[in-house]
A and B are shown apart, each in its own frame.
Chain A
Amino acid sequence: NNHQELLNIRVSLEIRDQNVKSVLQIIEKQADVRFSYSPQIVPIKKIVSVKANNKRLGDLLDDLLLPLNVKYLVSGNQIILQKEIKPVPASQPKAGTANSASIRAVKGISGTVKDEKGEGLPGVSIVVKGTQIGTISNVDGSYKLEVPEDKHVIAFSFLGYLPLELDIRTATSFDVALEPDTQTLDDVVVIGYGTQKKSDVTGSVATVSGKDVVKTTAAGVDQALQGRVAGVTVTANSGSPGSAVTVKVRGVGTVGNSSPLYVVDGVPLSSILSLNMQDVESINILKDASASAIYGSRAANGVVLITTKQGTSGKTQISYSGSIGVQSSWKKLDVLNAQQWATLYNEASVNDGLPINPELTDPASLPSYDWTKLAYQNGVIQNHQLSVAGGSDKGKYYLSINNLKQDGIIKTTGYERLSLRSNNSYKLTDRIEVGSSLSYSHSTRTSSGGEAGIEIDNRLAYQGYVMDPVTAIYKADGSENTSPYRTNSISPLVQMNYNKTKAYENYLYANGFIKIDLAEGLFLRSNYAVTKGDNFGDNFLPAYFASGYQSRKVNTYSSNRATTTYNVWTSTLNYAKDFNSHHLDAMLGYETQATKYNFITASRNDIPTSITNPTLGSGNIGSASNGGTQSASQLISFFGRVNYSFDNRYYVTANLRRDGSSRFGPSNKWGLFPSFAAGWDITNEKFFHSNLINLLKLRGGYGEIGNQNFADYAYFQTISTGSNVTFGSPEILNPGLAPQSQGNPNLKWETAKSTNIGVDIGLFRNQLNVTADYFVKYTSDMILRLPVVDIVGLVTPPYQNAGKMKNSGVELSANYRKDFGGLKLDVGGNISFIRNKVMNLGPAGNSIQVKGLINYAPIGITQVGGSVGSFIGYRADGLLQTQAEVDASSQPTAKPGDVKYVDINKDGQIDGSDRTIIGSPLPKATYGINLGLEFKNFDLSALFQGSQGNQIYSLVDYAMDGNVTTNSTTAILNRWTGPGTSNSIPRLTRIYNGQNVMPSSRFVHDGSYLRLKNLQLGYNFKPELLQAIHIEKLRLYLGAQNLLTWTKYLGLDPEIGNDPNANSPLDLGMDRGTYPQARAFLVGLNVTF
């Protein structure tokens, strides 16, 4: 029969001096069987040697287990190991016990042990607490046991399940269900260049499962991490589908690029926008240096390790999951109607002594035009994924195809991606495994130029709100109108009709590996991966005329092609050995990474309008223009790691990496990055006894990591082309060459030194798990374009090593899981408090300033003593109410009704030296709360995510309420019109407006928010119902994204990230008309065949 077949499998192996557990694991792999046993019953740490040469499995097990007093029985694919216990007849005194003389009454109890699915669980150890008396459950889970009358508690234990204790005084029959220990410490986590048992991890590593990330409608995996992990802050830069997000692991670690490194199936990548999240199995985030230092020079901002799905041996699984939904904006601004607007415009003219515009003399007679809805739409979002997974003991495969399509909530914006993936692995021989991972994606991002530049007028999300309501949407001839009251007034219709462009990306990822077992515990793995990203666009922009400012005289056709090729070759030699209670794990590696970038662009104008599908060649050759750039970089690395643990109590890890980078000059090419960490699992100490605490582990580590995230060739003094000048008769272009910046041959590695202390606690049989970490990270020799006075004459300041920054913080996460008999609860939360301080920034007085708008003073400042990207400006203190107040103020030229500024240095005038820090875009805390409920066939999950204590500088406020030529929110109706009428909204003025809109605390608002990010309610059909239609699993669900947002911020969205057009990582928290996050509702289903 089946059982015999299993035991008849032939195995060949030779194991010397390994513990029983390891031997069993090796047999599991070889014979593709699973052992179930309770560690209390099998002496797993005993060192044994076994040898089999094409031996029957049954015989091998006899050889191995009989000497250990362990017997086995086969149940399905499992082999259950049991202690050979000869039940002691209770009526007879136990031999050799101290109280053998007394005869005890005995109570017979019986019952069945079941697993979480309600099926009988064989092999469970059942022991009368405080005695040696016990038994093992049978194949069907049933058991019988005779318990001395004076004993009241029996204990059930089984590996992989939570232990259970039972008071038996109330009855004689007990059917129990064991809960699986989902927090099992034998879970494996992916770490750099390998895996590690979760229990052995000494650094700060957080795990997110693929099942969780797919609950979001976001297009990217990075965005889906929002709210999931303590210390990882994710902010969407824009609500436009397919746009980038800002991910910070443990704060803004440097003034340069502070994005983390992504590693997909062992391949380090700088971006994962094209990765289909449905293919993601799990995500591990290495937060501290002791964990991430193995990635050396690319790890200073944390490492996000992503494992994609692999096939499993057994039945082929075909799955489809799909969802469709609709997204829309969740907030609108109340703006003025024509009558209100014209009245206020006139009021400003009167205040300034300017004549009333003739067409505005009778506001009541003006028709109102509602521009606010022109750009908005309800966007349809869809996601379809079909996957096949399966395999045998010789090979495994996973294939998927995915189509994601999202229409933005703003017309002309959208994102569509088609992706394919094939993950395969084959066992060529007992010792050699090869595999490949291929993925290809084609994406199209549509936008309208409505997100270009840093001017609010260009932002489609706001153009309709900014446009005055007196101006008609269309001119008399039916063409798009623009406002005559404002130079740079842009109609959203113009933007949408004449500036729509598409950007495409083809992204290929190919990765092949070979793994060779060289000897027991020793293997070589070599991995070669190529990624090729082709970003391109072929766009025709028509000629049009809306106004002198808003026009394109001639149509134009442009093509651009950017190819980034990245090759990485990684080879590691891994060795693992157990001897007695010692465990050693060592790795040596070598890696090369080469990146090449090639960009070309070309355009021509005057495409004849008769051409339906223009190409470059169809334009006027006289208008031809072209250009291009190329660059390359190379990294070469050697690295190694040793993990050692003793008796599951003490853990030590040490990493060392040496990186060579082409980005540095000859004397600074190489950097060395060491780290080490230690852990102590107190629960495994003999002295430790607690029923409450079942895990208490202390961790500590230190590491140094590098950063070389800056431009190629910065150490060269390059002489730029392009400073051309026209001379001659006839005029010709003469090339001019001059430096734009200065090379810095002394440039060296930026280094982050970080220390981490953490504790992992498991309570109530691991129902409650708590992790707490404290970290301090010092970044020194930051590589930045240190500002240089314009007097030197550079166009761009050179890269220099300067300054030091400190990030420190506390991260807490907790998770509670419990099964209340039918109702399963899983609730978790995480919160992190991170403080940032710039300690040094090169020469005294240096600061890095970021402009709010092109013609607006800098409002973002990074300077010593403060945190990065702080807001600088004047401190507004209400309004000057009367002429007497004006006279007493430091603003002699002000008028009553103007904003009053605090004279910080009390010198009697308001000038640049009165500017001060008026806010910070960095949150004091970021947090997430996830909730999971399962009841019968229903499941419910919710994710809340929030940010607390950050501020937003609202340039939207500045643009809308600071200027009467734009429309304004209805708040402006409460403006100052005489003493006491308002203390916050100044009098209306056109000429002296600049006084009231200087960068000040007036435009700084609380940006805290709490958001119900995801909500999903699912229904799982009963398997019995599905069998008839050959479906294994079927789940239907309803979901909502961004359903509720609680915030005091009055703009369209409080989630303001790093402005994608500001081109500075220090440009934070400035609302320039950010494309808001959408609210989405969707329905979906998951089917497995």
Chain B
Amino acid sequence: CEEKLDLTPYGQPVEQTFYKTEQDAIQAINAAYYPLREIGQGWRNDLVVGDIGTDDAIKGGVNVEDNGGLLEKETYRLTSANATLALRWKANYQGIYYANIVLDKVPSIDMSEDLKKRILGEAHFLRAFYHFDLVKLYGGVPLGDKILPIDGKFAKASKEEIYAFVEAEFNLAKENLPLKSKNVGVNKGRADKGAAIGMMVRVSAYLNKMDKVRQYAEELFALNEYSLDPDFGAIYQPTGEWGPGSIFEINYYPSNDPGWLQGQGNLTATAAGPRTIGGWGFGQLKQDLLDEFETGDPRKEASTYLVGGQAYGTGIFNRKYSYTPYSKYEYAKVGSIPTNGPHNYRILRLADVYLMYAEAQYALGNETVAREYVNKVRTRARGDQPASVLPNLAASVSGQDLIDAIYHERRVELAGEGLRYWDLIRTGRAEKVLGPLGFKKGLNEVFPLPIADIILSDGVLVQNPGYN
């Protein structure tokens, strides 16, 4: 009768029989992308966790009380109990775990070496990506350079150690990954060489290592893979997904997967949409941002829209994450969950790299190149408007004026993309711009770590200073 007690699970493989074939390897790396969905999702992406409480965006919603977690962000009173932050923390470490499984199991699988190389490259990319998100949010965090034991206690690695790991991983990814142009057909949307290099441009900018920004940006340009989409307004349309200037995106699709936030869809647009047309009104934009646009800049219209009659908020909404009639995206057309929207969450695009490159060239003393790259962005933005609209930066724009022009250009080009908060911090302007809104220097550059892990670590994991 003993064998009656030997029952095996239904419906899912067990480790002893998995990680054996090429298909297993592909499915394992697919899973490592899954936590990205959390990071680009409407309740916790950088449109809310970053931009809310800056000079660009308010919390919004139905009233001041709506979503206490985001109110904490808006008013700079973040606590370790913040559920929104805890979800980002958890998603990043889940991604790291899944990437580590691939790096642990896939090397010994007997399979196509080319495919194996690509898969390991993706794992390195994702491991770097998740660590970068963590170090950006929290500063130093525990390092996930291998599968971590469940009974372990993990102290923080320093911010520098994490960044060094991120750079090493993106470089390993770069060595292993194919070009974007090779990721076609069924593989469109997977991490590629350009994405790894492009992310290093951003990482270097966040470290304020301008020589490296230049180095990686030029490496990216040398791939000859990217160009600015001639129509700025087309970028944040369904057809703009993975467009010529797109370096990395988190892919969403309104499939029929059941469950709140569990499907392949994205609720970002629903969360950000006006309440009068079925949205929830979070992350409404500020007049301050509208005022930043130069007169006639077509990007103002392409990035924002006004809807009156809102019970609460500015009535200024983010067109980059909008649906019909404010964009060609449809409003949750499939599935029973109204939030299951199709918008890809754009992580990095060429214009952003151009502007970081301009910043780097400015810092390294090459103002001409800096102006050239700002002007590339302005020229594209101008489109078929007369040259008097968004005129090119004149050669006379130099020194502080030039860097201010670059910052200005970033703010309008990248409005509503979740980058403002981090830009202000990395460029040392946060206290000046955000101080009046409640930002405290030396405190709010990073967020509090989730209280659950602090408690469980029994003193090993130390809370960021100043947070309870």
Which chain B residue has the least Cβ–Cβ distance from A720? B12
Which chain A residue has the least Cβ–Cβ distance from B66? A487
Taking the closest CB of chain B, its distance from the CB of A793, in whole angstroms, is 3
Q: Which residue of the partner chain, among B63, B71, B187, B335, contacts A623 with CB atoms under 8 Å?
A: B335
Once bound together, how far apart are the Cα atoms of A549 and B270, in whole Å?
A: 10
Which chain A residue has the least Cβ–Cβ distance from B93? A793
Taking the closest CB of chain A, its distance from the CB of B64, in whole angstroms, is 5
Which chain A residue has the least Cβ–Cβ distance from B282? A487
Interface residues of A in 530-583 (CB under 8 A from B): 545, 547-549, 551-554, 556
Interface residues of B in 344-371 (CB under 8 A from A): none
Taking the closest CB of chain B, its distance from the CB of A374, in whole angstroms, is 22
Q: Which of B48-56, B251-259, B394-402 contacts A (4 or more CB under 8 A)?
A: B251-259
Is the CB–CB distance between B253 and A737 below 8 Å?
no
Is the CB–CB distance between B4 and A634 below 8 Å?
yes
Residue-wise, chain B 1-24 has the 8 Å CB interface mask toward A (1 for contact) of 110111111111111101000001
Which chain A residue has the least Cβ–Cβ distance from B311? A484
**Chain A hits for B90, CB < 8 A:** 790
| Interface presence of A963 (CB below 8 A) | yes
Is the CB–CB distance between A719 and B15 below 8 Å?
yes
Chain B interface residue count: which class? 35 or more
Interface residues of B in 434-466 (CB under 8 A from A): 450-459, 461, 463
Is the CB–CB distance between A719 and B7 below 8 Å?
no
Interface residues of A in 709-740 (CB under 8 A from B): 712-713, 716-721, 723-729, 731-739
Q: Which residue of the partner chain, among B63, B188, B273, B456, contacts A789 with CB atoms under 8 Å?
A: B456
Once bound together, how far apart are the Cα atoms of A994 and B152, in whole Å?
A: 34
Residue-wise, chain B 141-166 has the 8 Å CB interface mask toward A (1 for contact) of 01010001111111000000000000
Once bound together, how far apart are the Cα atoms of A963 and B83, in whole Å?
A: 19
Main secondary structure of the interface of A (DSSP, over half): loop
Max chain B CB contacts within 10 Å: which of A631, A725, A729, A964?
A725
Taking the closest CB of chain B, its distance from the CB of A874, in whole angstroms, is 11
Taking the closest CB of chain A, its distance from the CB of B344, in whole angstroms, is 9
**Chain A hits for B258, CB < 8 A:** 603, 625, 627
Once bound together, how far apart are the Cα atoms of A849 and B251, in whole Å?
A: 34
**Chain B hits for A964, CB < 8 A:** 65
Taking the closest CB of chain B, its distance from the CB of A107, in whole angstroms, is 75
| Interface presence of B31 (CB below 8 A) | yes
| Interface presence of B39 (CB below 8 A) | no
Q: A605-B335, A632-B7, A718-B14 are in contact. Are A549 and B280 (CB under 8 A)?
A: yes
Q: Which of A115-123, A772-780, A852-860 contacts B (4 or more CB under 8 A)?
A: A852-860
Which chain A residue has the least Cβ–Cβ distance from B80? A912
Once bound together, how far apart are the Cα atoms of A794 and B151, in whole Å?
A: 12
Once bound together, how far apart are the Cα atoms of A76 and B134, in whole Å?
A: 90
**Chain A hits for B152, CB < 8 A:** 792
**Chain A hits for B253, CB < 8 A:** 726, 731, 733
| Interface presence of A53 (CB below 8 A) | no
Q: Which residue of the partner chain, among B63, B98, B149, B185, contacts A738 with CB atoms under 8 Å?
A: B98
Once bound together, how far apart are the Cα atoms of A488 and B339, in whole Å?
A: 15
Interface residues of A in 632-657 (CB under 8 A from B): 632-634, 636
Once bound together, how far apart are the Cα atoms of A661 and B98, in whole Å?
A: 32
**Chain A hits for B459, CB < 8 A:** 845
**Chain B hits for A743, CB < 8 A:** 14-15
Is the CB–CB distance between B311 and A727 below 8 Å?
no
Is the CB–CB distance between A735 and B451 below 8 Å?
no
Is the CB–CB distance between B27 and A793 below 8 Å?
no
Once bound together, how far apart are the Cα atoms of A851 and B69, in whole Å?
A: 15
| Interface presence of B94 (CB below 8 A) | yes
Q: Which residue of the partner chain, among A594, A624, A713, contacts B256 with CB atoms under 8 Å?
A: A624
**Chain A hits for B33, CB < 8 A:** 725, 736
Q: Which residue of the partner chain, among A487, A736, A797, A856, contacts B34 with CB atoms under 8 Å?
A: A736
Is the CB–CB distance between A634 and B453 below 8 Å?
no
Is the CB–CB distance between B188 and A728 below 8 Å?
yes
| Interface presence of A970 (CB below 8 A) | no
Which chain A residue has the least Cβ–Cβ distance from B456? A789
Residue-wise, chain B 314-350 has the 8 Å CB interface mask toward A (1 for contact) of 0000000000000000011011101000000000000
Taking the closest CB of chain B, its distance from the CB of A264, in whole angstroms, is 24
Is the CB–CB distance between B453 and A790 below 8 Å?
yes
Once bound together, how far apart are the Cα atoms of A629 and B456, in whole Å?
A: 33
Is the CB–CB distance between A592 and B452 below 8 Å?
no
Q: A727-B188, A858-B452, A991-B75 are in contact. Are A592 and B4 (CB under 8 A)?
A: yes
Taking the closest CB of chain A, its distance from the CB of B428, in whole angstroms, is 26
Once bound together, how far apart are the Cα atoms of A556 and B337, in whole Å?
A: 10
Once bound together, how far apart are the Cα atoms of A990 and B68, in whole Å?
A: 11
Is the CB–CB distance between B154 and A791 below 8 Å?
yes
Q: Which residue of the partner chain, among B5, B27, B453, contacts A636 with CB atoms under 8 Å?
A: B5
**Chain A hits for B244, CB < 8 A:** none
Is the CB–CB distance between B31 and A723 below 8 Å?
yes
Is the CB–CB distance between A718 and B93 below 8 Å?
no
Once bound together, how far apart are the Cα atoms of A605 and B334, in whole Å?
A: 9
Taking the closest CB of chain B, its distance from the CB of A595, in whole angstroms, is 10
**Chain A hits for B461, CB < 8 A:** 789, 791
Is the CB–CB distance between A990 and B151 below 8 Å?
no
Max chain A CB contacts within 10 Å: which of B68, B311, B336?
B336
| Interface presence of A307 (CB below 8 A) | no
Q: Which residue of the partner chain, among B12, B89, B150, B275, contacts A718 with CB atoms under 8 Å?
A: B12
Once bound together, how far apart are the Cα atoms of A487 and B452, in whole Å?
A: 28
| Interface presence of A509 (CB below 8 A) | no
Is the CB–CB distance between B1 and A592 below 8 Å?
yes
Q: A486-B66, A487-B67, A794-B150 are in contact. Are A622 and B28 (CB under 8 A)?
A: no
Is the CB–CB distance between A991 and B93 below 8 Å?
no
Is the CB–CB distance between A723 and B34 below 8 Å?
yes
Is the CB–CB distance between A551 and B62 below 8 Å?
no
| Interface presence of B186 (CB below 8 A) | yes
Residue-wise, chain A 923-942 has the 8 Å CB interface mask toward B (1 for contact) of 00000000000000000000
Is the CB–CB distance between A721 and B12 below 8 Å?
yes
| Interface presence of A519 (CB below 8 A) | no
Which chain A residue has the least Cβ–Cβ distance from B13? A719
| Interface presence of B96 (CB below 8 A) | yes
Is the CB–CB distance between B252 and A726 below 8 Å?
yes
Is the CB–CB distance between B186 and A732 below 8 Å?
yes
| Interface presence of B278 (CB below 8 A) | yes
Is the CB–CB distance between A790 and B452 below 8 Å?
yes
Residue-wise, chain B 67-86 has the 8 Å CB interface mask toward A (1 for contact) of 11101100101001101001
Is the CB–CB distance between A726 and B189 below 8 Å?
yes
| Interface presence of A187 (CB below 8 A) | no
| Interface presence of A882 (CB below 8 A) | no
Is the CB–CB distance between B452 and A552 below 8 Å?
no
Max chain A CB contacts within 10 Å: which of B30, B98, B151?
B30
Q: Which residue of the partner chain, among A556, A636, A728, A965, contacts B189 with CB atoms under 8 Å?
A: A728
Max chain B CB contacts within 10 Å: which of A486, A545, A728, A797?
A728
| Interface presence of A184 (CB below 8 A) | no
**Chain B hits for A605, CB < 8 A:** 335-336
Q: Which residue of the partner chain, among A631, A632, A726, contacts B255 with CB atoms under 8 Å?
A: A726
| Interface presence of B416 (CB below 8 A) | no
| Interface presence of B101 (CB below 8 A) | yes
Q: A592-B1, A728-B186, A855-B83 are in contact. Are A484 and B62 (CB under 8 A)?
A: yes
A-B CB contact pairs (8 Å), 14 listed:
A548-B280, A553-B338, A556-B336, A623-B334, A634-B5, A636-B4, A718-B13, A726-B252, A727-B251, A732-B186, A739-B101, A794-B150, A854-B83, A994-B77
A-B pairs with lowest CB-CB distance, top 7: A793-B97, A911-B468, A845-B458, A736-B30, A738-B31, A736-B31, A723-B31
Kindly list 16 other residue pairs between chains A and B, CB separation below 8 angstroms, not including A603-B258, A738-B98, A845-B457. A548-B275, A634-B7, A716-B9, A718-B14, A719-B18, A723-B98, A725-B264, A726-B253, A743-B14, A743-B15, A792-B93, A793-B97, A793-B100, A793-B144, A857-B81, A990-B63
Residues of A within 8 A of B (CB): 352, 354, 484-487, 545, 547-549, 551-554, 556, 592, 594, 603, 605, 622-625, 627-634, 636, 660-662, 666, 669, 712-713, 716-721, 723-729, 731-739, 742-743, 787-795, 797-798, 843-847, 849, 854-858, 909-913, 963-965, 990-991, 993-994
